[in-house]
A and B are shown apart, each in its own frame.
Chain A
Amino acid sequence: MLLIPCPWCGPRDEAEFHYGGQAHVAYPADPAALSDEEWARYLFFRDNPKGRFAERWSHTAGCRRWFTLTRDTATGVFESEAGA
């Protein structure tokens, strides 16, 4: 089980969190202007790296806030831990 460093509550068990996938995916500024291909990219295509991955988590069973962390998908280590 991951020990997830919530920025407000500190490290908590993964079971308290909801996963939100890749971070920094902005809603298109002008959706109507998008081509089908651009719309597909926005809807369906996300990064899937083996390595550093910035991702969204929500502390649903705690403070209920969303936040962004960077984790290594090959090792499971969060960057704040790696640097600690």
Chain B
Amino acid sequence: MRDVPPQPERLWTSPEPKRSYDVVIVGAGGHGLATAYYLAKNHGVTDVAVLERGWLAGGNMARNTTIIRSNYLWDESAGIYEHALKLWEGLEEDLGYPLLFSQRGVLNLAHSLQDVRDGVRRVHANRLNGVDAEWLGPEEVKEVCPIVDVSPGVRYPVLGATYQPRAGIAKHDYVAWGYARAAAAMGVHLIENCEVTGVEVVDGRAVAVHTPLGRIAAGKVALAAAGHTSVVAETAGVRLPLQTHPLQALVSELLEPVHPTVVMSNAVHVYVSQAHKGELVMGAGIDAYNSYRQRGAFHVIERQMSAALELFPVFARAHVLRTWAGIVDVSPDASPIVGLTPVEDLYVNCGWGTGGFKATPGVGWCYAHTIAHGEPHPLAAPFSLERFTTGALVDEHGAAAVAH
């Protein structure tokens, strides 16, 4: 276990908002902060405000299970997630800030013949896209992660797994703080406790946002509001194909290091890693109904625990220390929506559903490009809002499903 580095008292300043900015980003989560950082760094756009209704990185950035991987099936997804992973690999140096990025690999388990076929297919697809991927048999799974029960007699036996060695985890708070610090140093204003209550649209063009701190004019407005995107977009008259659901996760108490990698299982709905301090971090599937409450039902946690216990008998005596939920914006094809909207100068980045954390650097990079140039970055272009009309969906239910 690595020691958690000490933090200075202030990493960024909290300026009074100006009356006008070139770009206003709505939401200071990982995506909003990364976007601000790359706007400043890659495009020289520094007259930027990131407005946050709560505190910085206190939404889903504080609630996710920090899994980073790029082993998605389709070319479009591999493109943006692998771009993100390559950025992750240099991000600590780039930001000059420790992120506890640990490439400990990810196993995606197969429990049925169909899982095996899908997994092998995905390994081949990954390799064609330059994403590291291997197919492992049960004994090899055991070598990578000795605590997984690979015996054949269980309800959902492990028939094999895909393995991406370059996958891993990072410390989510530090990722947000690293981006915030670097963006603020380049002149970006980070403004907390400043909820955007409306986007002002004049003649089909977004011109300002309304907040409790007053009207703030904007050359461009870029949404990065995750579960609340529909609410903000509606004030601009933009309807999005999103449904907001609770997504639950939990941690155990601190344990000795027992779990050397990340294990995910779509079939039994659980994903597990062990954080640097030693707690087991587990995520569930979404709660079924639409909700903006940041809480979910216990039977979802119970189901997740029973799955985890069957896969990891060693967890039987671990205690659940804390459970929580974030609210996630789920799109119809389990892929994000990044790009332009019918309202000029209004941009959206949403629909990341259960898996936005891993994409943070990649989407920040591409969204910043999209905002700066007024047209989609090539890696973001397939994730346009128009795809729901043209039918060019990026159907990632197979590789993403609940288990991002």
Chain A residues within 8 Å of B, Cβ to Cβ = 1-2, 13-15, 18-19, 21, 36-37, 40, 43-46, 48-50, 53, 55, 71, 73-76
Contacts and interface: CB of A to CB of B under 8 A. Distances in A.
Interface centre among A50, A71, A74, A76 (most CB of B within 10 A): A50
A2 B289 contact: yes
B292 interface: yes
A66 to B, nearest CB: 15
Interface stretch (B159-167, B239-247, B307-315, B361-369): B239-247
Interface string B235-260: 00001111110000000000000000
Contacts of A55: 289-290
B290 A73 contact: yes
Contacts of A76: 291, 293
Interface of B: 228, 230-231, 239-244, 288-293, 297-299, 332, 388-391
A14 B299 contact: yes
A46 B245 CA distance: 13
A69 B298 CA distance: 22
Given A48-B230, A48-B242, A48-B243, A53 B389 contact: no
B298 A45 contact: no
A76 B293 CA distance: 7
Contacts of A50: 228, 230-231, 244, 292
A40 B388 contact: yes
Contacts of A37: 389
A15 B243 contact: no
A44 B241 contact: yes
Contacts of B239: 45
